[in-house]
Amino acid sequence: MAARRPKVCIDRILPSEMMRLQRTMRGPAGRVRAISPIGKAWMNGSTLRVKFMGGTSAQQRTVREQADWWSQHANLKFDFNNAANAEIRIAFDASDGAWSYVGTDCRGIALNEPTMNLGFLDGGTAAHEFGHTIGLAHEHQNPAGGIKWNEAAVIREMKKSPNFWDEQTTRHNILRKYSVDQVNGTQVDPDSVMLYFFPSSWTANGIGTKANDELSSIDKEFIAGAKMYPKTGTTPTDAPELKVNAKTRTKASIGTAGEEDLYRFVAKADGRYVIDTAGPTDMYMKLFGPTSRTALVAEDDDSGTDTNARITADLIAGNYFVQVRHYNRTAGKGNYTIKVRKM
Ligand SMILES: [Zn+2]
């Protein structure tokens, strides 16, 4: 009986210079916090369109079923309309393994190229790849630890068929852990669909992992949670408008930790805009646009005064969305104000 061979998925994270994110600039009173690559989540409430680039009807049915595992819990919809400019484009090249770009990185890929490949579809593979597509990373790279690699064994095994990976590729895709401040995460979840099977001989402590073919309870909780896609969020259609350079700041309050507010504003001309919050509440802010509700422009945690958020960005004219969320470091709620200025 042949040993079960690990099928290793590559989550394709674009190099930083190719990311559409802008770095938040240092504010006058600000602490600087680098934009985290985990800012790859789509705007909460998004409908992501999906185009199949091949695949049998049975394969496509499996993909639809497993994508739905996520949308049952996350505030996201998948529209399998095969639009030419769909955000998610799925190929079924059996010689190319299984992989996906992560979250909003999909927008940086040419429209005639796939953002996901499903070279195999056994178990929960489609669910795993959709996990990447909606912004999740590999559980085995969780910085909270868990797996103590036997690095020499992993590098040796991955050089063999069917992977033929060189040491650098193995280090990047398996051994390297995401640093803690790059990741919004849970403790390592041994039941996560984002974990892959690794044999015990690959670990220093002889403890392997099992492949998981369905979403774990923590997967469901995390994707529906405050940092990802809570169903309690405001939808884009009822977002109130912030007037640029309004005389007074817009007052609002967040009722519960993790709740989010959504605003829109119109940048009538190209230029530098500053969006900031003020008040005692620890705020986390994301800017999406132009026009698109799914393209993240920038995000910020604590660049504003105290724990407030501030984004300074050079924008082209268009409609933008600002999502504000209580950061949930401590329980509670709070009042805040928000304002958009053109410099
Ligand atoms: Zn993967």
pLDDT of residue 70: 97
Angle between helices 125-133 and 57-71 (to 10 degrees): 60
Of 289 and 143, the one with more pLDDT: 289
Q: Global pTM?
A: 0.67
Identify which of 99, 67, 92, 94 has the alpha carbon closest to the alpha carbon of residue 80.
Answer: 67
Cα of 304 vs centre of ligand 1, distance in Å, is 35
Cis peptide before 280 (omega within 30 of 0): no
Residue 3: pLDDT band by 50, 70, 90 thresholds? very low
Contacts of 15 (CB under 8 A, 6+ apart): none
Distance 258 CA to ligand 1 centre (A): 27
Residues 15/205, Cβ–Cβ less than 8 Å: no
Spatial distance between the Cα atoms of 197 and 138, rounded to a whole number of angstroms: 12
Output the CA 118–ligand 1 centroid distance in Å.
11
Tell me how far the alpha carbon of residue 102 lies from the centroid of ligand 1, in angstroms.
Answer: 9
Over residues 164-169, the mean pLDDT reads 84
Cα(15) to ligand 1 centroid in Å equals 17
- What are the pLDDT digits (tens) for 286-319? 888 877 666 677 777 666 666 677 888 888 888 8
Q: Distance, CA 136 to ligand 1 centroid (Å)?
A: 9
What is the CA angle 68-214-328, rounded to 5?
Answer: 75
Ligand 1 centroid to Cα of residue 84, in Å, is 25
Strand-pair partners of 116: 90, 100
> What's the gap in Å between 226 CA and the centre of ligand 1?
23
Q: If you measure from the C-alpha of residue 124 to the centroid of ligand 1, how many angstroms do you get, rounded to a whole number?
A: 11
> Between 280 and 143, whose confidence is greater?
280
**pLDDT, tens only, 207-227:** 777 778 899 988 898 888 877
How close is the Cα of 112 to the center of ligand 1, in Å? 22
155, containing H or E segment: helix 151-158
